[in-house]
Every structure is written in structure tokens, then in C-alpha cells.
Amino acid sequence: MTELTPDQLASAHGGADSFGRCGPGNALPFLGNVYTPECKAHDQAVRDARASGSSYLGAQWKALPKLPAAVGSYFRARFG
């Protein structure tokens, strides 16, 4: 059995800040708790842009190319 550190577990499941959760953070709870690699990639793109100095909206704009895949993965995971 592999043991995970709290940081590894948070990374795999989204953690307190919902990293990798499809949807806007913890908002809109009716979306469910769906975590996909595509949503995680979008979240990572936002984080990377923010770490590079982009504003919140600028980071969302830079991550926009990853959004269609994230939305598609949500629907496949939730309803497929």
C-alpha cells in the first residue's frame, strides 16, 4: 500500500482550494464534486499565469484554450 503525504493527497483530489474540480472553485455546489485531468490542467494554467504576474482575469484569459476540454470532461464524467 502506498502512503500519501497530505500535500500529495490534496493534489490528487483537489484539496481545500478545489484544485482540479470542474467548476468555479467551491461555488455552484449543484455541479457536483467532479475532478478530471482536464479541469486540473485548466486550473494549473490559471495558477501558472497568476504566478507569472497576471491578474485574475488575465490568468483566466490565458487559460481559456484549456476550457473547452475541461467543460467536455465534466460532462463526460458527470453524465456519460
State the total domains in the chain: 1
Q: What pLDDT does residue 12 have?
A: 52
Q: What is the mean pLDDT of residues 27-36?
A: 91
Could you tell me if residue 8 is inside a domain?
no
Could you tell me if residue 78 is inside a domain?
yes
Q: What pLDDT does residue 14 have?
A: 44
Could you tell me if residue 60 is inside a domain?
yes
Could you tell me if residue 67 is inside a domain?
yes
Q: How distant, in Å, are the alpha carbons of 7, 9, 18, 41 from that of 28?
A: 25, 23, 12, 20
Q: What pLDDT does residue 80 have?
A: 87
Determine the structural domain holding residue 44 and report its residue range.
32-80
pLDDT, averaged across the chain: 86
Q: What pLDDT does residue 1 have?
A: 65
Q: Of the candidates 46, 70, 78, 69, which has an alpha carbon nearest to the alpha carbon of residue 59?
A: 46
Q: Of the candidates 26, 41, 29, 25, which has an alpha carbon nearest to the alpha carbon of residue 73?
A: 41
Q: What is the mean pLDDT of residues 18-42?
A: 92
Please indicate, yes or no, whether the overall pTM of this predicted structure exceeds 0.85: no
